[in-house]
Every structure is written in structure tokens, then in C-alpha cells.
Amino acid sequence: MAISRFSYASMNVMDVEAAVRHYVHVVGLRETDRDADGRVYLQAADTQDHHCVILNPAKTAGVEHLGFKVSDPADLDEATAAVTAYGLPVTRVPAGAVKGQGEGVRFPLPSGQHMMLYYHADKVGYLTGMENPNPVSAHSTPGGRVTHLDHTLISAQNPGDDVKFLTEVLDFSLTEKVVDPAGNTLAAFLTCGHTMHDLAIGPGPDNHFHHMAFGMDSRTEVIHGVDLLKEKAVPALEYGITRHGIAGVTTIYFHDPSGNRNEFYNGAYLAPGAPGWVPPIVWQAEHFPRGAFYYENAVPEAFFAEVT
Amino acid sequence: MQVTLRHAGRSEVSFDCAADDTVLVAARRAGVTLHVACEQGGCGACRARVVQGTVHYPLPASSRWLDEGSGSEDYTLLCRAAPTSALIVETAHPWRLRESAPLSRILSG
Ligand code: FES
């Protein structure tokens, strides 16, 4: 089976219009569509597909499901068989149930968050257009200069269970992990694409969402993003701009108007998603503060404790 | 409106909260640093149990945390709750009191 990329996060928000303002004017996405159920679809500048974020009107914050693209329509049948055999319930989702998207298969991870695999996405094209475009991204559009939705981190009581499922059943590749003295996995970073993580699992309660990260072209753009967050008084983590020891990326975290965590970031290293090609980097738990926040060498208490 | 915070093992603190100010805003003004993360009613970092009094929500707060444990309105999120009566709450996390060094006294106005 070939899952080729992390495509979108379908998020629950308590005020859709406030969320749209945030994802357009702070994050820098463009609104691409709306549907009859009040959902709003958005996409980043450098991705052609219909959406990378879906906003669902809801009473709670958190993730509704995570969308991953497969590289062949037949992968949906293969995934259905493999996930069912693993003992997790699979639902076939008809084309169009998620707007702009073909048929999909949906199932919960061992930690409870739902994943959707699908093959077809309608195309909206790049922000700069599909004919004779400008070679630089559009600096006149509002919000951060994000290029694409890059990865997400979810929380799990036993991250090792998710890792086992993702690597053994869905052919994800483990690039980095944090282990406790007994060898249990506390956090894990997995790829199905070409950089070191598409999906990461952190310590915390089952079925909760930690953050989604929007990629930027350079550290300079992240600095610009921090300025924007400060100017717009967006609640952000006290650390920032900073670096993660894990992957060494430049980063800042902030929150959407429903409290869902977002990240602006740049600089993940390349790692092929082919299973087993790159043996994982291992972090012992005592070094985790440096792995999490390289400059500060400490993890703020609320960082892993608080999730939506 | 008077707000009183309680947390096991510490002495309670009280401060005033203006109409439509959230408890978080009023606490900051009073030099009380609450445990928060998102400040947007989503993550539950600031949750507290209502011992006495009532609140309203000028902006939405996630029902996931309001219903927690009891299925009732016993819980509140202090980053989004504005008291509609004198309020006593028991916070899930301890708060910090701002140090009263000369500079922080000036900064806190
Ligand atoms: S700080 Fe996140 S809900 Fe109040």
C-alpha cells in the first residue's frame, strides 16, 4: 500500500467565521469552498488540491478526522482489508461526502482519532495560477507566507500502539522516537512522504489533537510570521521563535480561535517514506526537553498537557 | 463581581471582575497568573469547578470541558467565562501570584 502524503486536517471549531478569519488572515490560507453543512474548505498557496483544512461547525474544538492521500485507487481496497484484519472498524465514505474529494475509507487509530484515506482530489491550482505564473509566492495576500500544510501531531496514552499500527499496517516509516528508561515509546515521528514527519504521536490523552504545522520557505518567513502573530495579538506559546532539537526545525506555536494549536515552521530534513529505509533516531526521555525545545532545553508544562 | 479561586492546599484568592471581562482578564489585572494554554476556550487548561455562582460566555467555549465528569454545568473555562454573580471556583491547576518587586508593581499599574 502507498499512502503518499498527509493532505488535510478536518477541524472542529466553535465559531466558523472567526476560524475562517484566522486561517486566512493569520495563517495565510485561501478559502476554496463551502458546503451545505456549513463547512469551510481552505488551501495553502503551493498545493493544487481542493483543501488542506476543513472547518466544521461544532460545540467542541479538536480534530474531526485527518486526510491522507493514496497513490492508487486500488489502495483503498487493500487498506480496507488490512485495517479490518487488524481489528479496527472501517467505513467506506462515498465520493463527495467530503467536498472536492473522491471515495474514501475511514477508520479510527488505536488512540481514537479518525483517519481518512482517499485517492481523488479536485484541483484548485496553485495560488499563483497554472499558466505563466510568477515564480515567487504572492506576498500581497494576507496572513503568514505558508506554502503547505506539512504535518500533524496527535496525542495518545500509549503512542507505541499507534506506531505499531501505522508502521505494520499502513507502511509508515518511523524517523525519530523518544523512549522512557523501560523502552516504552513516549513520542514518535512517522513519515509516508519525503520529509521526516507527516504524522507524529505525542504523550497525552487518547483521541485528542496537539497541533498541525504549516510549512514556510525559510527561517525568515517564520520570523515574519512571529511578527504577524504579535501584531494581531494571537495567543502563542511563550517560546518563539525557537528550534526543536528533534528535526532541528525553526518554529512557533499559536492557537486558532477555538484553541486548536497551529505551528509555523521551516526546515525539516528529507527522509523517504519507504518502510525501513531510514533507521530511526532515538532520544532518551531525559534528553527530551532538549529534543522538544533546543534553545530553552525545557518543555513548558502546558505544552503536552493541553490538547484539544 | 467578586471572583474567588480555590485550589487544594493553598489559601484562596479573591479579586474583582468587571462586567463582561473574563475571569482570566480580571485575574491578570489582579496579579494572579492562571494556568492557561490556548486562551480560546478549546484546550481545557483553565478549567475549574463552579462551587458557587453563575457565568456566561461572551465567546464560545468547548463543551468537551464544560461537561467533563458530571454531564452538568458544574465546570467552566476561566479564559472564556464572565461571571454573572459572585463566583467561587476550584481550579484544576494552581495559579501563581505575580511577584511584587518594584518594577512589576509599576508594570501592573
Ligand atoms: S486556556 Fe485553553 S480553554 Fe482556557
Class of domain A3-121 (CATH, top level): alpha beta
What global pTM score does this model have? 0.90
Looking up cell 469552498 gives A33
Domains within chain B, CATH numbers bracketed: 2-84 (3.10.20.30)
Residue B71 has pLDDT above 50, yes or no: no
> Nearest CA to A20 among A55, A47, A46?
A55
Which of A11, A16, A59 best probes binding to B when mutated, by most B CB atoms within 10 angstroms? Answer: A59
Residue scoring higher pLDDT (A137 or A257):
A257
Q: Using the beta-carbon criterion (under 8 Å), do A14 and B35 form an inter-chain contact?
A: no
pLDDT of residue B72: 54
Q: What is the DSSP string of A118-144?
A: ES-B-B---TT-SSS--SS--TTSSS-
User: What is the interface pTM, i.e. ipTM, of the complex?
Assistant: 0.74
| φ/ψ bin of B76: left (φ > 0), alpha (ψ from -120 to 50), beta (otherwise) | beta
Could you give the CA distance from residue A211 to residue A11 in angstroms, rounded to a whole number?
11
CA of A51 to the centre of ligand 1 (A): 28
Contacts of B42 in chain A (CB under 8 A): 14, 60-62, 255-256, 258-260, 308
What is the rounded average pLDDT of the residues A229-248?
90
Indicate the burial class of B12 (C-beta count within 10 angstroms; 0-12, 13-18, 19 or more).
exposed
For β-strands A3-13 and A53-57, DSSP reports them as parallel
Smallest CA–CA distance, residue B25 to chain A, in Å, is: 13
Residue B68 has pLDDT above 60, yes or no: no
pLDDT of residue A239: 85
| Model pLDDT for residues A53-79, shown as the tens digit of each residue | 999 999 999 999 999 999 999 999 999
* pLDDT band (50, 70, 90) for residue A302: confident
CA of A58 to the centre of ligand 1 (A): 17
Q: Which residue of B has its CA nearest to A303?
A: B37
Q: Using the beta-carbon criterion (under 8 Å), do B42 and A258 form an inter-chain contact?
A: yes
Residue B104 has pLDDT above 70, yes or no: no
Contacts of A305 in chain B (CB under 8 A): 37, 45
> Nearest CA to A232 among A254, A262, A259?
A254
Residue B13 has pLDDT above 80, yes or no: yes
In short, whether B37's Cβ falls inside 6 Å of ligand 1 is yes
In short, whether B77's Cβ falls inside 6 Å of ligand 1 is yes
Hey, which CATH number is domain A146-305, 3.30.565.10, 3.10.20.30, 3.10.180.10, 3.40.50.300?
3.10.180.10
What is the rounded average pLDDT of the residues A121-130?
95
CA of B92 to the centre of ligand 1 (A): 12
**What are residue A190's DSSP bridge partners?**
A174, A199
Instruction: Tell me if A211 sits within 8 A of A150, measured CB to CB.
Output: no
Q: What are B93's three cell numbers? A: 491547576
Could you give the CA distance from residue A259 to residue A251 in angstroms, rounded to a whole number?
18
Nearest-CA residue for ligand 1 atom 3 is: B41
What is the rounded average pLDDT of the residues A149-156?
97
Q: Using the beta-carbon criterion (under 8 Å), do B62 and A308 form an inter-chain contact?
A: yes
Smallest CA–CA distance, residue B53 to chain A, in Å, is: 23
Q: Does A221 touch chain B (CB under 8 A)?
A: no
- Domain layout of chain A by residue ranges: 3-121, 146-305
Q: Does A305 touch chain B (CB under 8 A)?
A: yes
